[in-house]
Structure 1
Amino acid sequence: MTETENRAAGKFDAGRAAEYAVQSRIALAGYDACHELAACLLAADLGPGRAARILVAGAGGTAQEILSAARLEPLWHFSAVDPSAPMLELAMAAVGEAGLAARTTPMLGEVADLPEEPIYDAATLIGVLHHLPGLPAKQAVLAALAARLKAGAPLILAGNRHAYASKPLFLAAWGERWRMQGASSNEIAAKLGKIRQGADPPASDQEVARLLTQAGFEEPTLFFSSLFWGGWITHRRA
C-alpha cells in the first residue's frame, strides 16, 4: 500500500468505524436512497436474475452496497475490498447478520492488490474518491477498477465533489443536519472539522467526468445529488 493509501485508510480507525453507520446517514441526506438506486441501476443494466461478480471497492463500514444489491439479485457474488481492517470487519459483521457471508469475499487492501484480470461484471466505488488526496491517487484507483472490469461493465461512482469552502451554504446546511439531530454548536464545529480533515473532493462534476474518461470509462451520467454528494453511473469502454 502506498503512503497516500495508508493515510486515507488510517482515517478510518476503530473509533471512526464504530460511529460510521450513524454519522454517514446524517452527513449524507439520502444515504439509503443512493445505495438503493445504485443497486437498481446495476440490476437494470446487467439484467435481472443473472449471475454476476460485483467488485465493491471501499466496502468497509455499513456494507450498504452489498446489502441493497443482494436483496434484488440472489445470484450476485460480491468481492468486498477495503484498506481499513476495522471498517472491513464492521462491513463483514453486517454481511454476516444479513446471511450473506457465503456470497461475499472480504479482501483487506486496495483494488490494485487484486489480480489484474477483467473478471468483474460491475463495480462500485461509493464514498471513497474524496478521501484520496490529489488527482494521481484518484486516477490510480479508477484505472485499477477499469483494469478489472469486463468491457462494457457498469461502474457506480458516488462521493463528494466541490471544495468544501467553495460552498459555504452547503457547509452551513450540513451543520443544520446535525443540529436537527440534537448536536450542540461545539459538536457541530467538531463534526464539520472532521469532515474537512484530509478530504480532497474532485472540484466539479466536470472533473469527475475527466477522471473517469481518462481511466477508460465512458462519460458518466449523474443519477443522485445531495449537497456536496453526487452519484454517477458509467461503463468500461470496450
Structure 2
Amino acid sequence: MTRYYSVDAIVLKAMDYGEGHRIFTFYSREEGKLSAIARGIKKQTSKLKGHLQLGNRCHLLLYRGRNLDTVSQAAATSVYSHIRENPKAYLYSSYLLELLDSSVPEREPNAELFYLAHEVLTSMAELEPALAVHYFEIHLLRLLGYEANFRRCIHCGRPLKEGFLSPRFEGIVGEECGEGYPVSAQALYALTYYSESQLPQIGRLKISKETEKMMARVTRHMLDFHLDRKLRSVDILQDLT
C-alpha cells in the first residue's frame, strides 16, 4: 500500500523546526486538521516555499510517516491576494485561521467546515472582514454541534425581544432569567439573520458599528465556552473596534 496521499488543504500555521525545516498545520477537506513537515523549505531553492504561505489553499502530496507526515509536493490553488492587500482583512483572516486551529481535533474531517473557511476567506474581497468573520463564528459553532438560538431565551425558552449575555449561560437570556451585558433587538435580529442566511446575503443587511460590537461580544462569549485557551488574535481585533 502506498504511503503517499493527496489533500486539498488550507495552511493554518507554521513553526520553524531545525535549521532549514518547518512544521505546518493544515485543515484539509479529506483528513481534517493535520501536521506535516516541509524539509528544506527555508532554502532559497525550495519549490515549496512560495506555495506554503499562511492562509493559502493548496493541493498537497504528503508522505505518511511513523510520527509525522512529510510534504512532498505543494501547489497553491487560492492565495487570497485581496487579504494581503488589506491590513484589516489580514488581521481578521489570521483570527479565522487561529480559531479554526483551536476548535477542531486532528484527523476529524468536515468538508462543510473546510468549504466554509474557504468561502469566508474568499468573501473578504467584497464583504467587510469583521462581518464575514462573524458569519464564520456562528456557523463554526453550528458545525461543532453548538448551534445557537437567538430567537429564544436559552434558559426558559421564551421569545426574545432584547436580551442579556449572562456569564452563567452559553447564550442569550431574557430579562426574567438573568442579567449581564445587554444585547439589543437589532443585534439579536442580525445574529438570527446571519445564522439563517447564506454568506452572499449578509451584505444586504446594514448594521451599525454598535450592533457589530454586540455581535462580536456574543459570538466570542459563546466560543469561549468551547475553547480551552484564549486566542492571541482576539486582543488585536478588540483594538480595532
Normalised to the residue count of structure 2, the TM-score between the two structures is: 0.24
Comparing both structures, which one devotes a greater share of its residues to helix? Answer: 1
Higher relative contact order (CA 8 A, sep 6+): 1
Comparing both structures, which one devotes a greater share of its residues to strand? Answer: 2
